[in-house]
Amino acid sequence: MTLHISEAEVRALLTMPMAVEAVEEISHKQATGEVIVHPRRRFELPGGGFFHYMAAADYTLGYLGMKQYTYVRGRMRFLVPLYEVAKGDLLALIEADYMGQLRTGAASGVATKYLARRDASVAAIVGTGGQARTQLEAVAAVR
């Protein structure tokens, strides 16, 4: 049976330290070829909307997923279906707006961890959207 994880459940369960750890781990796996990440693809919808998707597979854990999102009439909707590779079963449908914000922020946290000077004490964030907040939260989590 497919598990449905709502946006509220994602917000209650997923933390920035968890996201930073996951992004760091997946980055290492991607470098060794254990994880394959397909770049974002998109197509236009009638009326000026868009459908975007990107996929990844973790062969060591045996899972693959795809982030899908629409932009229609000024609104975005995010979804991640998660599959088990061995059987092809759809394990979960995850509402993924907040998860995407955390993942984007976590990437900045991992970059800060490895690229910023240890004594750096100032961060500049350009923008004010949801990802700006999670970018700063991730930098603070690693420093």
Catalytic residue among 29, 67, 87, 113: 67
Annotated active-site residue 67? The verdict is: yes
Do 14 and 6 meet the contact criterion of CB atoms below 8 Å apart? no
CA dist 21 → 27, 62, 71, 90 (Å): 10, 19, 29, 25
- d(CA 82, CA 4) in angstroms, rounded, equals 10
Known catalytic residues are 67
